[in-house]
Amino acid sequence: MKTTFLKLITWLRHFLVGSFYNHKKVWQAFPVLFEARAELTYPIPGLKKTISLNYRNERESCHSMTPQGLTLTENYLLISAYCHDHQHRSVIYVLDRITGVRIKTVILPDLPHAGGLAYDPIHKKIWISNTSEKHAAVAAIQLSDIEKYEKDPITIAYQQKIILKELPRASAITYDQGYLYVALFTLDNHGKFCCYPLDEQGNLELIVDDSVVKSPFDTLAIPQKIQGVTIYKNLLLLSQSWGKQPGKIFVFDINETADFSNLDEAIKIIETPPYLEQIYVEGDQLYALFESAAAAYHKKAPYIMKDVLQIDLVKLFKELFGYAAK
């Protein structure tokens, strides 16, 4: 009964937004990716209107919120978005991960691009990519603070905001086994990828008498135009997108790759619809977020993705090239 109910909700959602025809076109254009799709999808909220705060801290409707980051907790799917016109504070949409219904919109205290979200399930903490003058930064919010957040037009407080020394921007982030991974988006040169361990309290440790964090590991080079990063067992997945051309997901074997910026070392390159942003893995499922339905892009995007795309990785890897993640 529960499965039937969820399928009915999904069908009604697609019917109301008129996405059946669009989905058919996308499936035909990217058959390899969509043959491994899951039935459950999550609607991207706030594409037409989001209530936020302007520079004067006044409650106002924003019509240019652009989705960027994505992560899942035990009970929620979180999507970050920024105002493309830079007039309103960035937000995090909180969706019920079973039904896909938006529960609330959390208003951030500033206007970051919010290009990435990461969830630390051990310390129940959400990390958000940010900037601080010439350096990258990450900000942290306790999941409990998001759960207690009211719908009144106020901003939530960061528990911690830390400057990262190696990078000028934190374009994409992910969490895996006690580490926060941060990637830099670049247009022309190779991007960068850094790894930061978390302490027993789930915090990044500050350098003594300083306000920045330095990675204890080497900085890795990655391809240009990377929008998202995630880890699946022994695989590193990087999402690349820029403009109207198809996006790509680069798949590297972590144990066998010497240079992650060398695409010849990728064990697979998967084409996706354009305007691909963050990707996130939980279990054997890959979740992909697109910004093509946002006001800034929907008139020029060849394909409009109004939902978070969910992909079965076991099926995708098995059908594509017979490679099973260890």
Q: For residue range 189-208, what is the model confidence (pLDDT) as tens digits?
A: 999 999 999 999 999 877 66
The mean pLDDT value for 67-84 works out to 98
Quick check: 225 and 115 in contact, CB under 8 A?
no
Alpha helices by DSSP H, listed for 184-276, are none
Please name the residue that has the structure tokens 């310390």: 123
Residue 236, both tokens? 């590193």
* pLDDT for res 41: 81
* pLDDT for res 107: 97
Whole-model pTM: value is: 0.91
Residue 8 has pLDDT above 60, yes or no: no
Reported as a single tens digit per residue, the pLDDT across 110-164 is 999 999 999 999 999 999 999 988 899 999 999 999 999 987 678 999 999 999 9
27-36, 291-300, 314-323: range with lowest mean pLDDT: 314-323
Question: How would DSSP label each residue in 108-164?
Answer: PSS------EEEETTTTEEEEEEEETTEEEEEEEEHHHHHH--SSS-BPPPSEEEEE
Please name the residue that has the structure tokens 């799917």: 77
The mean pLDDT value for 18-24 works out to 54
Distance CA 324, CA 326 (A): 6
By CB atoms closer than 10 A (0-12, 13-18, 19+), residue 231 is middle
